[in-house]
Amino acid sequence: MDLATLIGFLVAVGIIVAAMVTGGGLDAFIDLPSMMVVFGGTFGAVMMNFTLGQFFGAIKVALKALIFKIDKPAELIAQVIEMAKETRTGGLLVLEGKETDNAFLSKGIQMLVDGYEADVISQTLRADMNQAAARHDDGAEIFSKIGDVAPAMGMIGTLVGLILMLGNMSDPKAIGPSMAIALLTTLYGALVANVFAIPIAGKLTLRRNEEVLVQSIIIDAVSGIQEGKNPRVLEELLQTYLPGSKREIEGGDAKAAESTS
């Protein structure tokens, strides 16, 4: 589980719930018809903008983004450079049966061992990368749309409640409670958008960028290994994917290791 998402969600929800409890209890903030308007109306309206496959697929993408563990670029570079060194002495077949936790890298290695041409490997891996990025983009767009629609549905529910309240002004004592219930839909809409949908959309965009970075490193690494590039040259090429400060640290460590060997 992504700790930043989990901690952030618990903190946000915890503070809001604490404010509700200290303000008089949770019972005043629970209303089934308001929930139906916001949740049902939001999902229905958003679903109209996408196909069923895209809509329900966004849930799977979101779960993967929150649970999936992405490889650290620096560690991945070290791993593929070690493979490059092995192939310089033993050939591509030395990679046969090489175990790695990264399915994308494993696929690239297998294509190398099977003797696919460079263009075929590059095109296949890039197609997989683009499809994965598109799934993340669809998921982020859907959750972003939920963040846009939920507050609007909350306002619609509030207007419905106000209309019903104004249509029955014979009991002045009921105006206050009726107004409170009408405003609950606005609260629900704001909560769905700002505590759930918009943060998930942002996280999916972040995961997409992280995955594209890692997969780009793998594509260049596989291509470099197939071309028989010097591991040192290949490492310098892959280091360009790292931030400047991190690149300098890694480069300094590599030089130190070479001087002691």
Both 5 and 100 in one domain: the answer is no
Both 157 and 187 in one domain: the answer is yes
Both 109 and 17 in one domain: the answer is no
Contacts from 79-85 at CB under 8 Å and sequence distance 24+? 79/105, 80/105, 80/217, 80/218, 80/221, 80/222, 80/225, 80/234, 80/238, 81/221, 81/231, 81/234, 81/235, 81/238, 83/109, 83/221, 83/225, 84/221, 84/224, 84/225, 84/229, 84/231, 84/234, 85/231
Q: Give the helix ranges, DSSP H, for 36-115.
A: 41-47, 52-67, 73-90, 103-113
Both 225 and 250 in one domain: the answer is yes
Please state the rounded mean pLDDT for residues 110-122: 93
Both 65 and 164 in one domain: the answer is yes
The tokens describing 231, both together, are 């591991």
Question: Using the 8-state DSSP alphabet, how is residue 194 labeled?
Answer: I
Q: Which residue has the higher pLDDT, 255 or 78?
A: 78
Both 26 and 106 in one domain: the answer is no
Range of the domain at 7: 1-30
Both 98 and 21 in one domain: the answer is no
Both 53 and 25 in one domain: the answer is no
How many angstroms separate the CA atoms of 249 and 239, rounded? 11
Both 106 and 184 in one domain: the answer is yes
What confidence tens digit (pLDDT) does each residue in 68-98 have?
778 899 999 999 999 999 998 888 889 988 8
How many angstroms separate the CA atoms of 189 and 157, rounded? 9
- Residue 24, φ and ψ in degrees, nearest 5: 145, -5
Both 18 and 77 in one domain: the answer is no
Total count of domains within the chain:
2
How many angstroms separate the CA atoms of 87 and 82, rounded? 9
What confidence tens digit (pLDDT) does each residue in 182-198 have?
889 999 999 999 999 99
**pLDDT at residue 251 above 50?**
no
Q: Are 160 and 37 in contact (CB under 8 A)?
A: yes
**258, burial (CB in 10 Å: exposed 0-12, middle 13-18, buried 19+):** exposed
How many angstroms separate the CA atoms of 223 and 105, rounded? 12
Average pLDDT across the chain, whole number: 87
Instruction: Give the global pTM.
Output: 0.81
Both 191 and 148 in one domain: the answer is yes
Question: Using the 8-state DSSP alphabet, how is residue 65 labeled?
Answer: H
**pLDDT at residue 174 above 80?**
no
Both 6 and 110 in one domain: the answer is no
With a CB cutoff of 8 Å and minimum separation 6, the contacts of 55 are: 46, 47, 142
**pLDDT at residue 61 above 60?**
yes
